[in-house]
Amino acid sequence: MLVGDKSYQTVWIEGSSVMMIDQNLLPFEFKIHECPTYWDTCMAITDMVVRGAGAIGAAAGYAMAQAFLTSTKKTKAITIREARADIEHTRPTAKNLFYAVDRVYQAGLISPENAMIEAQKVAIKDSQDSRSIGVFGSELIRKKANILTHCNAGWLAFVDYGTALAPIYLAMKQNKDVFVYVDETRPRNQGAKLTAWELNNNKVPHVIIPDNASATLMAQGKVDLVIVGADRIAANGDVANKIGTLEKAVLAKEFGVPFYVAAPLSTIDMECASGKDIPIETRSPDEVLYQMGIDANGNKLRVRVASPGSDAWNPAFDVTPAKYISGIITEKGIIKAHHRAIGRVMGAG
């Protein structure tokens, strides 16, 4: 995607360093973060310098390749196994991370160079899949549609294009004149900070709404379609996505608004029979108790926004049961959130 007049991907490799757009600094500062070692890449994933299912998948694949490239012959087996465990412990929910690590690990058993080639393939496929999701998803968008989205499943959350936002970008190119309601997405505000930045950047008309405003909007008939991303999809069609997604899905059903999930097949975990099997990450209470921003002079600030002395509970994701989902937009087409449809598309590879 273009930032100014330069084309960027969210994450890429330069020599043996993994490079990424620093998402913790956006929307106030655009800076590239360099990870010279697999451990630096792990830290960047844990600290959410890079975040979003596809982007952390690509970063994790590159981290696995970095580990292969730097291991010596003597320590190779143990180092690689430990590195794989380190990478897999960075963030537990997004299936793409485990999918990418496994692919690159298997390739690396042949040679370190092979690991890097595989990591590149994972990243390229992520970008291609997102592009296809945009094509299928745009068919759902009619002229002048009002679309609600939650969190950031745009190009920053993948290598390029995004999932939930890819259909919107294409609809804009098709002159469909869409409007986007952007949930702020507490506590880390991926909507208010990242989705809004992307949409501004791509000149897509939008407004940021408080997380608790969507019921009112839907009750007033102002939302035609909800599109969100996914971090892991179980074999029965249950979807883990950013905390708050479940509320939007229940509301959408109540108010008769189609609710779509956009995700590549690499997000589907056939080993999770249902959403109950999906591991849900709990993050630091500080993300709820403090907020990051800038003051009127552009100075960075971290301020407490909750009563001193109170603690917080901070689950990063929730699970939306399949019954609330109108369909899953994948790179192979739009499928029902149902075990038979999922089994069919996964079987077809």
- Residues lying near ligand MRU in the complex (CB under 6 A) are found at 51-53, 151-153, 157, 163, 190, 228-231, 241-242, 316
Shortest approach of ligand MRU to residue 73 CB, angstroms? 36
Shortest approach of ligand MRU to residue 111 CB, angstroms? 31
Shortest approach of ligand MRU to residue 92 CB, angstroms? 11
Shortest approach of ligand MRU to residue 79 CB, angstroms? 27
Catalytic residue among 231, 238, 269, 318: 231
Minimum CB distance to ligand MRU smaller for 68 or for 99: 99
231 is catalytic: yes
Which of 150, 103, 151, 140 shows the shortest CA–CA distance to 125?
103
Minimum CB distance to ligand MRU smaller for 108 or for 162: 162
Cα-based distances in Å from 341 to 95, 167, 237: 19, 22, 9
Minimum CB distance to ligand MRU smaller for 52 or for 108: 52
Closest-by-Cβ residue to ligand MRU is: 229
Question: Can you give the chain as a three-state secondary structure string?
Answer: CEECCEECCCEEEECCEEEEECCCCCCCCCCEEEECCHHHHHHHHHCCCCCCHHHHHHHHHHHHHHHHHHCCCCCHHHHHHHHHHHHHCCCCCCHHHHHHHHHHHHHHCCCHHHHHHHHHHHHHHHHHHHHHHHHHHHCCCCCCCEEEECCCCCHHHCCCCCCCCHHHHHHHHCCCCCEEEEECCCCCCHHHHHHHHHHHHCCCCEEEECHHHHHHHHHCCCCCEEEECCCEEECCCCEEEECCHHHHHHHHHHHCCCEEEECCHHHEECCCCCHHHCCCCECCCHHHHEEEEECCCCCEEEEECCCCCCCCCCECEEEECHHHCCEEEECCEEECCCHHHHHHHHHCC
Shortest approach of ligand MRU to residue 313 CB, angstroms? 16
Shortest approach of ligand MRU to residue 51 CB, angstroms? 3
Minimum CB distance to ligand MRU smaller for 190 or for 326: 190
Paired with 107 in beta bridges are none
Which of 222, 314, 208, 317 shows the shortest CA–CA distance to 267?
317
Which of 307, 233, 227, 232 shows the shortest CA–CA distance to 262?
227
Query: In terms of residues, how long is the chain?
Result: 349
Minimum CB distance to ligand MRU smaller for 262 or for 345: 262
Minimum CB distance to ligand MRU smaller for 115 or for 246: 246
Minimum CB distance to ligand MRU smaller for 103 or for 242: 242
Shortest approach of ligand MRU to residue 52 CB, angstroms? 4
Positions marked catalytic: 231
